[in-house]
Structure 1
Amino acid sequence: MANKNLRIREKTIFDGIFSKYILKFLFSLWFKVAGWKLCTATPEGAGITIAAPHTSNWDFVYALGAAILQDVKIYFSIKDSMCRIPLLGRWLMYLGAMPIDRSSTGLGQVEQIKQFIETQKGKRVFFLFTPEGTRGGVAKWKTGFYHVAQGCALPIFLAKVDYLSKETGVFHIFKLTNNKDDDIQAMQASYKTVYGKYPTKQLPPYQGRMPSIGDKEAAIIRALYAINSIKGVATKMEISAKAKIGELSNTMFDFLIDNGLIEQGFLERAEITYQLTLAGKGCYLHLYSQDNLLARPNG
């Protein structure tokens, strides 16, 4: 007789008194003593969550703490066979393991997630992926998470464990476009200012902290993010109208260009236009990691 297909377990370590009170108290105390803080805005509902950079087993501990403190349920993919091992399998499922059976008779990952989230209306459920795939150095990201997000019609939540700023949690909701390569590069750009426990092993490489910019520079980036999603480039007048701010000085634009956040081009009539670089899109994600996390870029 064939083995019965395993499904995602609804009740896990994130449910019940142990998590809601005991673990929450312990993590709260630990974070306070160690000086760690949470990304303050946590998205509602379900999402495919990528966690980067991943250079240490401690990454999961901090991510677990953030999830418990913010009432989030985390699920992670694992081979179906591991979940069938007596005792170990039950423990893994309790921790949030999502059993994946890749045989012809198995329920696919996308279909399993789609069926599960139908039962989780209104709950914070994050399906966790580490695009680096390992704690060691890698040459490129694994992009299976992208195809899962497409198949499930879910946003991608970008999460981090930054050992320099001592901040952990989800810092942005990334909505997919029709350009996978561009999306992946933009997501990677947002992690270039995140400092892993062992930064020499992380991908993309750590490139230093995000440039310190003011409100008007932030408004320019946000306006360009909205305009770029529609037409690609914009003039200073269009940016000013979208950003709803008055005079835009050349100094502000020069600063953003020098830091690789926007780039300059020309229209046929020789009017200067601007657009975001991939690094600029990454910078946008950090700029709006707090109060504006859930704000629509083109709102």
Structure 2
Amino acid sequence: MKKLIGKLGLKLLGWKVVLDGDVDNLDRCILVVAPHTANLEYILGNFAYWSLGKPLKVIIKDQHTKAWYGFAIKAMGGIGIDRSQKNDLVNFVCDQFKKEDFSLVITPEGTRSWVTRWKKGFYHMAIKAQVPIVLGAGDFGKKEIHLGKIISVNDLETRTYEDIMSELEEYYNKITPAVPENWNPKIY
């Protein structure tokens, strides 16, 4: 059912999915999504994953999973986290990957507003959980959702953080964000 909803949703909105790598890259990974400048990216990303029949999860404020509509958030892959508490998200994510295979969406900007640099948690999560980083982006200029470019576990272990971030920066500089003034193309 989700596959049908995803395909129909993308078609109605006039968007298409562009795979920048093997679709199987999306089975078990940290999915880094950027630029993160609008809420619509969440809906488009879900439609894209659903259309491909892939499992997707996202960490969000637990107030959304505990609210009256929480059942819908959980059904869309929402994992509630109490942000008022100090959480060990790296180990939490690692434990989740021990239980099942999925893609975990991380928006390293941490907000839809302009930021000076990305947060590093996604990088540490991927290393600890021994899963690749896969890149995802909504190009609002072309109405394309890009998915699948992979930074392998081997790359994470053998390349420097700066080298990987340079590659990500180059990749995302080709993407047109929904709200360009909220995007800082210098990510680290």
Tell me the TM-score normalised to structure 1 length.
Answer: 0.53
Q: Check 1:98–1:165 CA distance in 2 against 1; reply closer, same or farther (3 A cut).
A: same
Q: Which residue of 2 aligns with 1:196?
A: 177
Equivalences for 1:285-296 in 2 at 5 Å?
none
SS in 2 for 1:138: coil
Distance (whole Å) between structure 1 residues aligned to residue 65 and residue 107 of structure 2: 23
Counterpart pick for 1:66 among 41, 48, 56: 48
| CA shift for structure 1 position 101 | 5.4
Distance (whole Å) between structure 2 residues aligned to residue 173 and residue 189 of structure 1: 14
Pairing 1:19–2:33 present: no
Q: Check 1:86–1:53 CA distance in 2 against 1; reply closer, same or farther (3 A cut).
A: closer
Q: Which residue of 2 aligns with 1:247?
A: none
Counterpart pick for 2:104 among 116, 127, 133: 127
Q: Check 1:111–1:133 CA distance in 2 against 1; reply closer, same or farther (3 A cut).
A: closer
Q: Which residue of 2 aligns with 1:37?
A: 16
The letter of the residue matching 2:36 is H
Could you tell me whether the CA contact under 8 Å between 1:55 and 1:202 is conserved in 2? yes
Q: Which residue of 1 aligns with 2:94?
A: 114
Pairing 1:187–2:188 present: no
Q: Which residue of 1 aligns with 2:36?
A: 54
Q: Check 1:137–1:25 CA distance in 2 against 1; reply closer, same or farther (3 A cut).
A: closer
Could you tell me whether the CA contact under 8 Å between 1:131 and 1:145 is conserved in 2? yes
Counterpart pick for 2:74 among 82, 93, 105: 93
The letter of the residue matching 2:35 is P
| CA shift for structure 1 position 37 | 1.8
Q: Check 1:101–1:38 CA distance in 2 against 1; reply closer, same or farther (3 A cut).
A: same
Q: What's the CA shift string for 1:132-188, capped at 9, x where partnerless?
A: 111121111111111111111111001010012221031400132441122223211
Could you tell me whether the CA contact under 8 Å between 1:24 and 1:68 is conserved in 2? yes
The letter of the residue matching 1:45 is D
| CA shift for structure 1 position 114 | 3.4
| CA shift for structure 1 position 98 | 1.8
SS in 1 for 2:43: helix
Distance (whole Å) between structure 1 residues aligned to residue 177 and residue 171 of structure 2: 13
Could you tell me whether the CA contact under 8 Å between 2:173 and 2:185 is conserved in 1? yes
Q: Which runs of 5+ in 2 are unaligned?
A: none
Could you tell me whether the CA contact under 8 Å between 2:65 and 2:80 is conserved in 1? no
| CA shift for structure 1 position 84 | 6.5
Distance (whole Å) between structure 2 residues aligned to residue 164 and residue 195 of structure 1: 5
Q: What's the CA shift string for 1:97-117, capped at 9, x where partnerless?
A: 22335758x7x4344433433
Larger radius of gyration: 1
Distance (whole Å) between structure 2 residues aligned to residue 44 and residue 53 of structure 1: 19
Distance (whole Å) between structure 1 residues aligned to residue 75 and residue 59 of structure 2: 13
Tell me the TM-score normalised to structure 2 length.
Answer: 0.80
Q: Which residue of 2 aligns with 1:158?
A: 135
The letter of the residue matching 1:66 is A
The letter of the residue matching 2:172 is Y
Could you tell me whether the CA contact under 8 Å between 1:78 and 1:98 is conserved in 2? yes
For the aligned residue pairs, the C-alpha RMSD in angstroms reads 2.5
Q: Check 1:94–1:44 CA distance in 2 against 1; reply closer, same or farther (3 A cut).
A: closer
Structure with bigger helix share is: 2
Q: Check 1:184–1:37 CA distance in 2 against 1; reply closer, same or farther (3 A cut).
A: same
SS in 2 for 1:39: strand
Q: What's the CA shift string for 1:60-112, capped at 9, x where partnerless?
A: 121111111111222111244x26735344333222122335758x7x43444
Could you tell me whether the CA contact under 8 Å between 2:139 and 2:145 is conserved in 1? yes
Could you tell me whether the CA contact under 8 Å between 1:63 and 1:169 is conserved in 2? no
| CA shift for structure 1 position 119 | 4.1
The letter of the residue matching 1:152 is A
Q: Which runs of 5+ in 1 are unaligned?
A: 1-17, 206-299
What percentage of residue pairs aligned between the two structures are identical?
A: 26
